[in-house]
Structure 1
Amino acid sequence: MSTLNNIPYDEIRIGQTASYSKTLTEADLILFANVSGDINPLHLDADFAATTIFKQRIGHGAWTGSIISAAIALELPGPGTIYLSQNLSFRAPVNIGDMVTIKLEVTAKEDKRHTVNINTLAVNQDGKTVAKGSVEVIAPTEKLALAKPELPAIDIG
Protein backbone atom coordinates (compact mmCIF):
# COMPACT_ATOMS: atom_id res chain seq x y z
CA MET A 1 0.00 0.00 0.00
CA SER A 2 1.36 3.40 -0.91
CA THR A 3 1.26 6.43 1.33
CA LEU A 4 0.54 10.12 0.96
CA ASN A 5 3.08 12.37 2.65
CA ASN A 6 2.89 16.08 3.20
CA ILE A 7 5.44 18.82 3.62
CA PRO A 8 4.72 20.78 6.80
CA TYR A 9 4.93 24.57 6.82
CA ASP A 10 8.33 24.66 8.59
CA GLU A 11 9.90 22.47 5.87
CA ILE A 12 8.58 24.48 2.92
CA ARG A 13 11.13 26.76 1.26
CA ILE A 14 10.76 29.66 -1.20
CA GLY A 15 11.60 28.30 -4.65
CA GLN A 16 10.61 24.74 -3.75
CA THR A 17 8.95 22.89 -6.63
CA ALA A 18 6.78 19.86 -7.27
CA SER A 19 4.73 18.47 -10.12
CA TYR A 20 1.71 16.25 -10.75
CA SER A 21 0.35 14.82 -14.00
CA LYS A 22 -3.00 13.48 -15.16
CA THR A 23 -4.40 12.55 -18.57
CA LEU A 24 -7.88 13.77 -19.54
CA THR A 25 -9.87 10.69 -20.50
CA GLU A 26 -13.34 10.42 -22.01
CA ALA A 27 -14.57 9.06 -18.67
CA ASP A 28 -13.02 12.03 -16.80
CA LEU A 29 -14.76 14.48 -19.12
CA ILE A 30 -18.16 12.79 -18.69
CA LEU A 31 -17.76 12.44 -14.93
CA PHE A 32 -16.71 16.09 -14.61
CA ALA A 33 -19.76 17.17 -16.63
CA ASN A 34 -21.98 15.11 -14.34
CA VAL A 35 -20.41 16.31 -11.10
CA SER A 36 -20.22 19.98 -12.08
CA GLY A 37 -23.46 20.14 -14.07
CA ASP A 38 -21.54 21.83 -16.91
CA ILE A 39 -23.02 20.12 -19.96
CA ASN A 40 -21.86 22.72 -22.47
CA PRO A 41 -22.03 21.00 -25.89
CA LEU A 42 -18.43 22.13 -26.47
CA HIS A 43 -17.44 19.36 -24.06
CA LEU A 44 -19.98 16.68 -24.97
CA ASP A 45 -21.21 17.08 -28.57
CA ALA A 46 -18.63 16.36 -31.27
CA ASP A 47 -20.79 17.81 -34.05
CA PHE A 48 -21.29 21.09 -32.19
CA ALA A 49 -17.64 21.26 -31.10
CA ALA A 50 -16.55 20.85 -34.74
CA THR A 51 -18.19 24.22 -35.49
CA THR A 52 -16.14 26.07 -32.84
CA ILE A 53 -12.65 27.56 -32.97
CA PHE A 54 -11.36 24.36 -31.32
CA LYS A 55 -12.79 22.04 -34.04
CA GLN A 56 -13.21 19.26 -31.46
CA ARG A 57 -14.51 18.58 -27.97
CA ILE A 58 -12.31 19.98 -25.22
CA GLY A 59 -12.01 19.50 -21.48
CA HIS A 60 -13.64 21.85 -19.01
CA GLY A 61 -11.36 24.65 -17.86
CA ALA A 62 -12.39 23.87 -14.31
CA TRP A 63 -11.07 20.32 -14.82
CA THR A 64 -7.62 21.84 -15.23
CA GLY A 65 -8.22 23.89 -12.07
CA SER A 66 -9.17 20.71 -10.24
CA ILE A 67 -5.91 19.06 -11.32
CA ILE A 68 -4.08 22.01 -9.76
CA SER A 69 -6.05 21.30 -6.58
CA ALA A 70 -4.94 17.66 -6.76
CA ALA A 71 -1.31 18.72 -7.14
CA ILE A 72 -1.59 20.91 -4.04
CA ALA A 73 -3.42 18.19 -2.07
CA LEU A 74 -1.09 15.36 -3.04
CA GLU A 75 2.33 16.93 -3.65
CA LEU A 76 3.00 20.39 -2.21
CA PRO A 77 2.16 20.93 0.60
CA GLY A 78 0.11 17.70 0.47
CA PRO A 79 -2.46 16.15 2.80
CA GLY A 80 -3.86 18.53 5.40
CA THR A 81 -3.54 21.60 3.16
CA ILE A 82 -6.41 24.10 3.22
CA TYR A 83 -7.11 25.87 -0.08
CA LEU A 84 -7.79 29.61 0.34
CA SER A 85 -7.76 31.07 -3.17
CA GLN A 86 -6.86 30.42 -6.78
CA ASN A 87 -6.06 32.80 -9.62
CA LEU A 88 -6.16 31.03 -12.98
CA SER A 89 -5.81 32.10 -16.60
CA PHE A 90 -6.57 29.66 -19.44
CA ARG A 91 -4.15 29.77 -22.38
CA ALA A 92 -4.99 26.76 -24.58
CA PRO A 93 -7.56 23.96 -24.70
CA VAL A 94 -7.06 20.55 -23.13
CA ASN A 95 -8.12 17.79 -25.50
CA ILE A 96 -9.24 14.30 -24.62
CA GLY A 97 -6.06 12.24 -24.35
CA ASP A 98 -3.86 15.19 -23.35
CA MET A 99 -1.61 14.66 -20.35
CA VAL A 100 -1.57 17.80 -18.23
CA THR A 101 1.37 18.36 -15.90
CA ILE A 102 0.97 20.84 -13.09
CA LYS A 103 4.20 22.54 -12.06
CA LEU A 104 4.19 24.17 -8.63
CA GLU A 105 6.69 26.70 -7.24
CA VAL A 106 6.54 28.26 -3.78
CA THR A 107 6.83 32.05 -4.03
CA ALA A 108 6.02 33.30 -0.52
CA LYS A 109 5.29 32.24 3.06
CA GLU A 110 3.55 34.07 5.89
CA ASP A 111 4.33 32.74 9.36
CA LYS A 112 1.35 34.17 11.28
CA ARG A 113 -1.28 32.05 9.47
CA HIS A 114 1.07 29.44 7.96
CA THR A 115 0.02 30.52 4.48
CA VAL A 116 1.98 29.67 1.38
CA ASN A 117 1.72 31.27 -2.07
CA ILE A 118 2.43 28.94 -4.97
CA ASN A 119 2.72 29.73 -8.68
CA THR A 120 0.94 27.15 -10.83
CA LEU A 121 1.68 26.26 -14.43
CA ALA A 122 -0.28 23.64 -16.40
CA VAL A 123 1.38 22.29 -19.54
CA ASN A 124 0.34 19.55 -21.95
CA GLN A 125 2.48 16.67 -23.19
CA ASP A 126 3.97 18.95 -25.86
CA GLY A 127 5.08 21.51 -23.26
CA LYS A 128 2.40 24.00 -24.32
CA THR A 129 0.99 26.13 -21.49
CA VAL A 130 -2.73 25.42 -21.06
CA ALA A 131 -3.21 27.44 -17.86
CA LYS A 132 -1.22 29.47 -15.36
CA GLY A 133 -1.85 31.26 -12.13
CA SER A 134 -1.29 31.06 -8.41
CA VAL A 135 -2.84 29.69 -5.25
CA GLU A 136 -2.78 30.62 -1.59
CA VAL A 137 -3.05 27.81 0.92
CA ILE A 138 -2.68 27.15 4.62
CA ALA A 139 0.01 24.52 4.94
CA PRO A 140 -0.26 21.80 7.57
CA THR A 141 1.95 22.26 10.61
CA GLU A 142 2.44 18.57 11.38
CA LYS A 143 4.09 15.88 9.27
CA LEU A 144 1.58 13.33 7.96
CA ALA A 145 1.99 9.94 6.31
CA LEU A 146 -1.40 8.49 5.43
CA ALA A 147 -2.51 5.38 3.60
CA LYS A 148 -3.42 6.35 0.06
CA PRO A 149 -7.17 5.77 -0.35
CA GLU A 150 -8.33 3.68 -3.29
CA LEU A 151 -11.11 5.15 -5.37
CA PRO A 152 -14.11 2.85 -5.66
CA ALA A 153 -15.09 1.66 -9.11
CA ILE A 154 -18.17 3.38 -10.51
CA ASP A 155 -20.39 2.75 -13.49
CA ILE A 156 -20.84 5.90 -15.56
CA GLY A 157 -23.25 4.02 -17.86
Structure 2
Amino acid sequence: MGKIVAIGETFAATHHFSPDSIREFSALAHDFNPLHHDADYAAADLRFGGLISSGTQQMSYLAALLATHYSKTAQPLGLEFDMKLRRAVHAGDDITVRWTVTDSLWKDKLAGDIVSLDGEAVNQRGETVIAATAKILVSAKPA
Protein backbone atom coordinates (compact mmCIF):
# COMPACT_ATOMS: atom_id res chain seq x y z
CA MET A 1 0.00 0.00 0.00
CA GLY A 2 1.13 3.58 -0.50
CA LYS A 3 0.17 7.12 0.34
CA ILE A 4 -3.45 7.76 1.32
CA VAL A 5 -3.41 11.55 1.83
CA ALA A 6 -2.25 14.15 -0.71
CA ILE A 7 -0.27 17.26 0.27
CA GLY A 8 -2.31 20.39 -0.44
CA GLU A 9 -5.69 18.80 0.25
CA THR A 10 -8.04 21.30 1.91
CA PHE A 11 -11.44 20.76 3.52
CA ALA A 12 -13.78 22.93 5.58
CA ALA A 13 -17.12 23.18 7.35
CA THR A 14 -19.13 26.14 8.66
CA HIS A 15 -20.96 26.29 12.00
CA HIS A 16 -23.45 28.84 13.31
CA PHE A 17 -23.05 29.76 17.00
CA SER A 18 -26.53 30.52 18.31
CA PRO A 19 -27.05 31.51 21.96
CA ASP A 20 -28.71 28.13 22.56
CA SER A 21 -25.90 26.13 20.93
CA ILE A 22 -23.34 28.04 23.02
CA ARG A 23 -25.23 27.31 26.25
CA GLU A 24 -25.86 23.66 25.36
CA PHE A 25 -22.26 22.93 24.38
CA SER A 26 -20.86 24.68 27.45
CA ALA A 27 -23.19 22.72 29.72
CA LEU A 28 -22.18 19.42 28.08
CA ALA A 29 -18.51 20.36 28.51
CA HIS A 30 -19.14 21.29 32.17
CA ASP A 31 -17.96 24.85 31.47
CA PHE A 32 -20.23 26.99 33.62
CA ASN A 33 -18.51 30.33 33.08
CA PRO A 34 -21.43 32.83 33.00
CA LEU A 35 -19.98 34.37 29.81
CA HIS A 36 -21.31 31.24 28.07
CA HIS A 37 -24.69 31.00 29.84
CA ASP A 38 -25.96 34.34 31.18
CA ALA A 39 -26.72 36.92 28.47
CA ASP A 40 -27.18 39.77 30.98
CA TYR A 41 -23.92 39.01 32.75
CA ALA A 42 -22.09 38.69 29.42
CA ALA A 43 -23.59 41.95 28.09
CA ALA A 44 -22.17 43.81 31.10
CA ASP A 45 -18.67 42.41 30.50
CA LEU A 46 -16.39 45.18 29.22
CA ARG A 47 -14.08 42.85 27.27
CA PHE A 48 -16.64 40.82 25.31
CA GLY A 49 -19.93 42.74 25.58
CA GLY A 50 -22.10 39.70 25.04
CA LEU A 51 -22.48 35.95 25.15
CA ILE A 52 -19.38 34.11 23.86
CA SER A 53 -18.76 30.46 23.19
CA SER A 54 -16.40 28.30 25.19
CA GLY A 55 -13.03 27.91 23.45
CA THR A 56 -13.53 24.17 23.67
CA GLN A 57 -16.50 24.49 21.30
CA GLN A 58 -14.47 25.90 18.41
CA MET A 59 -11.56 23.57 19.16
CA SER A 60 -13.84 20.54 19.13
CA TYR A 61 -15.27 21.53 15.73
CA LEU A 62 -11.73 21.71 14.34
CA ALA A 63 -10.78 18.30 15.75
CA ALA A 64 -14.09 16.73 14.72
CA LEU A 65 -13.67 17.90 11.12
CA LEU A 66 -10.50 15.80 10.82
CA ALA A 67 -12.26 12.68 12.08
CA THR A 68 -15.39 13.29 10.00
CA HIS A 69 -13.50 14.04 6.78
CA TYR A 70 -11.06 11.15 6.85
CA SER A 71 -13.38 8.51 8.32
CA LYS A 72 -15.44 8.61 5.09
CA THR A 73 -12.66 6.77 3.23
CA ALA A 74 -9.99 5.83 5.78
CA GLN A 75 -9.29 5.33 9.48
CA PRO A 76 -7.96 8.52 11.17
CA LEU A 77 -6.29 8.73 14.56
CA GLY A 78 -5.39 12.05 16.20
CA LEU A 79 -1.80 12.29 17.44
CA GLU A 80 -1.06 15.97 18.19
CA PHE A 81 -3.05 19.20 18.26
CA ASP A 82 -1.82 22.75 18.92
CA MET A 83 -4.52 25.42 18.95
CA LYS A 84 -4.09 29.11 19.64
CA LEU A 85 -7.24 31.06 20.49
CA ARG A 86 -7.01 34.50 18.86
CA ARG A 87 -10.50 36.03 19.27
CA ALA A 88 -13.76 35.34 21.02
CA VAL A 89 -16.66 33.78 19.14
CA HIS A 90 -19.87 35.67 19.87
CA ALA A 91 -23.45 34.47 19.73
CA GLY A 92 -24.62 34.90 16.14
CA ASP A 93 -21.18 34.29 14.58
CA ASP A 94 -20.67 31.89 11.69
CA ILE A 95 -17.32 30.13 11.96
CA THR A 96 -15.63 28.26 9.13
CA VAL A 97 -13.13 25.64 10.28
CA ARG A 98 -10.57 24.59 7.67
CA TRP A 99 -7.61 22.23 7.42
CA THR A 100 -4.86 22.06 4.78
CA VAL A 101 -2.47 19.12 4.50
CA THR A 102 1.13 20.38 4.66
CA ASP A 103 2.93 17.01 4.76
CA SER A 104 2.08 13.35 4.34
CA LEU A 105 4.61 10.59 4.92
CA TRP A 106 3.81 6.88 4.51
CA LYS A 107 5.04 4.71 7.40
CA ASP A 108 5.16 0.97 6.68
CA LYS A 109 5.39 0.14 10.39
CA LEU A 110 2.12 2.01 11.06
CA ALA A 111 0.47 1.01 7.76
CA GLY A 112 -0.59 4.59 7.18
CA ASP A 113 0.32 8.18 6.49
CA ILE A 114 1.58 10.51 9.20
CA VAL A 115 -0.21 13.68 8.12
CA SER A 116 0.66 17.24 9.19
CA LEU A 117 -1.96 19.94 8.77
CA ASP A 118 -2.44 23.66 9.27
CA GLY A 119 -5.87 24.66 10.49
CA GLU A 120 -7.88 27.73 11.22
CA ALA A 121 -11.26 28.89 12.37
CA VAL A 122 -12.41 32.14 10.74
CA ASN A 123 -15.50 34.22 11.48
CA GLN A 124 -17.86 35.79 8.95
CA ARG A 125 -15.76 38.99 9.03
CA GLY A 126 -12.65 37.10 7.89
CA GLU A 127 -11.01 37.30 11.33
CA THR A 128 -9.03 34.29 12.52
CA VAL A 129 -10.41 33.07 15.84
CA ILE A 130 -8.16 29.99 16.10
CA ALA A 131 -4.86 29.10 14.44
CA ALA A 132 -4.01 25.40 14.67
CA THR A 133 -1.66 22.63 13.64
CA ALA A 134 -2.28 18.91 13.87
CA LYS A 135 -0.60 15.60 13.24
CA ILE A 136 -2.73 12.54 12.58
CA LEU A 137 -2.29 8.96 11.40
CA VAL A 138 -4.48 8.01 8.44
CA SER A 139 -4.70 4.29 7.67
CA ALA A 140 -6.80 2.24 5.29
CA LYS A 141 -10.20 1.19 6.63
CA PRO A 142 -10.29 -2.36 7.94
CA ALA A 143 -11.73 -4.84 5.44
CA RMSD of aligned residues (A): 2.0
Give the equivalent residue in structure 2 for 1:86.
Answer: 81
Q: Report Cα offsets for 1:106-142 as digits up to 9, x if no partner.
A: 0112322322111101101121111111111111323
Identify which of 55, 80, 86 aligns with 1:61: 55
Percent pairwise identity: 27
Q: Does 1:117 align with 2:116?
A: yes
Q: Higher strand share goes to which structure?
A: 2
Q: Higher helix share goes to which structure?
A: 2
Identify which of 7, 31, 36 aligns with 1:38: 31
Give the equivalent residue in structure 1 for 2:5.
Answer: 12
Contact 2:10 2:99 in 1 (8 A): yes
In structure 1, C-alpha distance between the alignment counterparts of 2:137 and 2:96, rounded to whole Å: 23
Give the equivalent residue in structure 2 for 1:23.
Answer: 16
In structure 1, C-alpha distance between the alignment counterparts of 2:95 and 2:140, rounded to whole Å: 29
1:46 Cα shift? 2.1
Distance 1:143 1:97, change over 3 A: farther
The unaligned stretches of length 5 or more in structure 2 are none
1:143 Cα shift? 8.8
Contact 1:10 1:141 in 2 (8 A): no
Q: Where in structure 1 do 4 or more consecutive aligned residues deviate above 2 Å?
A: 77-80
Contact 2:3 2:106 in 1 (8 A): no
In structure 2, C-alpha distance between the alignment counterparts of 1:30 and 1:10, rounded to whole Å: 42
- TM-score, normalisation: structure 1: 0.77
State the AA in 1 paired with 2:37. Answer: L
- TM-score, normalisation: structure 2: 0.84
Question: Secondary structure in 2 aligned to 1:89?
Answer: strand
Distance 1:143 1:101, change over 3 A: farther
